[in-house]
Amino acid sequence: MPSVVGLLEQRELIARRRMDELREEADRIQAELVVVEREWNEWVIARSRVGEVLAPGDDDASPDACENWADRGAPPVPPASSDAAKPKSVVPMWRAGLAWSALSADYQRILQVLADRNRLGQGPLTCQEMAACFGLDPVPAKVEALRSKAKRLVARSWLVESAPGRFTLPKGVAGPGGGS
């Protein structure tokens, strides 16, 4: 008759082997997931770039401007006027005639991406999609920082949250030059 301790050791060994197999499989899947997420992010960025290039009304952009834009990984922001907001400034309530230059550069980038999508007839964006458009890693810290900014823009009437977590420009907010 086998000993109880021997049977327990045998079962423990079987369980340990199964655990090791599952860990190896989980590691393989995790590594594959990282590769697929990176590839997905590249496709999102590529689609965004093509949309920017094909956007109507951008025909007057010079090649040099496009190169600088691509180097920064962000849409061009109009030159700031003397009343332009400084980084970390308060977001003013939107009103007709208020230019985007009243906002800091981060907020202007969010508005620019959403304006480009409107121009292309595309729908609202999630914060994770925005992070990909900006070339940011879609990690929770980056996504939540964008969500905080987008929610602040919603609270000040610069953006509309058409569905939970999906942001777009309201009808009255125009391009970078002015409000209505």
Averaged over 17-33, what is the pLDDT?
Answer: 90
- In this structure, are residues 63 and 79 in contact, taking their beta carbons and an 8 Å threshold? no
Q: How confident is the model at residue 41 (pLDDT cuts 50, 70, 90)?
A: confident
Write out the DSSP string of 1-26.
---HHHHHHHHHHHHHHHHHHHHHHH
Q: How confident is the model at residue 80 (pLDDT cuts 50, 70, 90)?
A: very low
* CA-to-CA separations, 12 to 23, 25, 70, 83, 143, in angstroms, rounded: 16, 20, 57, 71, 43
pLDDT tens per residue, range 88-118? 557 888 888 888 888 888 888 999 999 888 8
Write out the DSSP string of 59-86.
TT--HHHHHHHHHHTS---PPP-TTPPP
Contacts of 164 (CB under 8 A, 6+ apart): none
Between 160 and 55, name the one with better pLDDT: 160
Q: 140-155 and 105-119 helices cross at what angle (nearest 10)?
A: 80
- Rounded Cα gap, residues 172 and 180, in angstroms: 6
pLDDT at 174: 61
pLDDT at 177: 55
pLDDT at 72: 43
pTM of the model: 0.49
- Rounded Cα gap, residues 74 and 112, in angstroms: 9
Averaged over 156-168, what is the pLDDT?
Answer: 90
Q: How confident is the model at residue 137 (pLDDT cuts 50, 70, 90)?
A: confident
SS3 168: strand
